[in-house]
Amino acid sequence: MTDTAPAREIFHFARPDAWRSAQSEGVYRPEEFSAEGFIHCATEAQIDGVVARHLRGHGPRVRLRIDAEALGEDLVYEWSQASEDLYPHVFGALPVSAVREAVAFDPDA
């Protein structure tokens, strides 16, 4: 396990069009949210593994740096058998106001 305590900030890699829509709506929900019921996130220590396993070859993203405390009870850490680590999941729409930074990210760079 890479983290022993909940992180102060977590990260999510949004599709650029979904992030643009979120800006006008005030909340972010990726396409997968309706099927999965949560938003996949990662701690800073988990980013390299997430990029290697899930993002390479899937186009550009926007890396969101999120204030974990702003999410309250919607933020839950869950164990991943595949990665053998606790991953942050957001069980609700992500308020745009909780995002501290949004930067273009190329997972193939």
Q: Is residue 89 part of a domain?
A: yes
Residue entry with tokens 């800006």: 23
Q: Is residue 3 part of a domain?
A: no
- pLDDT for res 18: 97
Which phi-psi region, left, alpha or beta, contains residue 92 (left: φ > 0; alpha: ψ -120 to 50)?
A: left
- pLDDT for res 5: 61
Mean pLDDT, range 84-100, rounded to an integer: 96
Q: Is residue 4 part of a domain?
A: no
Which range marks the domain in which residue 92 is found? Answer: 9-105
- Is the model's pLDDT at 17 over the cut of 50? yes
Q: In this structure, are residues 11 and 41 in contact, taking their beta carbons and an 8 Å threshold?
A: yes
Mean pLDDT, range 47-59, rounded to an integer: 92
Domains held by the chain: number: 1
Averaged pLDDT score across all residues of the chain: 93
Q: Is residue 2 part of a domain?
A: no
Measured CA to CA, the distance from residue 67 to residue 90 in angstroms comes to: 12
| CATH code, 68 | 3.20.170.20
Q: How confident is the model at residue 2 (pLDDT cuts 50, 70, 90)?
A: very low
- Is the model's pLDDT at 74 over the cut of 90? yes
